[in-house]
Amino acid sequence: MSNGRRPGAGGQRGRGGSKSTLAVPTGRGVTVRVKTAAKRSVSSARWLERQLNDPYVAEAQKQGYRSRAAFKLLQLDEKFHFLKAGARVVDLGCAPGGWTQVAAAKVFKSGGGKIVGIDLLPVDPIPGAQLIEMDFMAPEAPDALKSLLDGPADVVLSDMAASATGHARTDHLKIMALAETAYDFAAEVLAPGGTFIAKVLQGGATGELLAQLKRDFAEVKHVKPPASRSDSAEIYVVALKFRGKSA
């Protein structure tokens, strides 16, 4: 299981991403075709072709973001305005760092703010952010994050995803387990009025989690940002104005 690896323009150290206005190419230029080679499978060729023709991948490289996923968070924040200067943010599944870059550019503007991130995979340092390499599902992970956070959080983000099996029901259950665990943690650290955002699969947060979020937050929405690929089943649950966890 890989909790939080985001595909995209990996390996870019970037500037931290200072732009929130999205000028993304339409992708109507020349289409790049990739042929299979002796050491390249059909699926690998298709992935590479999609990357080469994805305008968000190109724009991420241009703006210095480590992944195209940075635009998903930018678009969510443009809609709901939860990344404020001086805010305290937790990024669950932070590799390769695109979401942390976006958060850093927003919350560190005033010289205050705090960002704590965690991922199974190593993440190159991002100025001001405290990042730990650890499985969020490990029993010791919540306390490690709380120790770094050293106080309440204003925003808890989860872009975590388990490795896909190809079986829709199984994949849905796996990602819901991550989202539920993320919320259990968020409910312990969020300050009143805080925001919780988590990736789920099409159909959104369901059952017990959705009911809990509706009890604990003033607003709960399901959103598919434009940067989320149309052929992806991912969607985000956005819970705003935390009221405190109900019994």
Query: Tokens 């434009």 appear where?
Result: 226
Is pLDDT of 135 > 70? Answer: yes
119 is in an annotated binding site: yes
Q: For residue 46, is it within any domain? A: no
Q: Give residue-wise pLDDT tens across range 32-68.
A: 444 445 555 655 555 455 555 568 888 888 999 999 9
Q: Is residue 149 part of a domain?
A: yes
Domain count, the chain: 1
User: Quick one: how far is CA 44 from the chain centroid?
Assistant: 24
- Is 99 assigned a ligand-binding role in the annotation? yes
Asked if 93 contacts 136 with a C-beta cutoff of 8 angstroms, the reply is yes
- Name the packing angle between helices 141-149 and 168-189 (round to 10°): 40
Does residue 79 belong to any structural domain of this protein? yes
Catalytic: 146?
A: no
pLDDT tens-digit readout, 142-187: 999 999 999 999 999 999 988 777 787 788 888 899 999 999 999 9
Range of the domain at 186: 70-242
Determine if residue 159 is labeled as part of a ligand binding site.
yes
Alpha helices (runs of H) in the chain, residue ranges in sequence order: 42-52, 55-63, 70-80, 98-107, 141-149, 168-189, 207-216
Q: Is residue 132 part of a domain?
A: yes
Catalytic residue, chosen from 199, 221, 241, 245, is 199
> What is the pLDDT at residue 113?
96
pTM of the entire structure? Answer: 0.80
CATH code of the domain in which 100 resides: 3.40.50.150
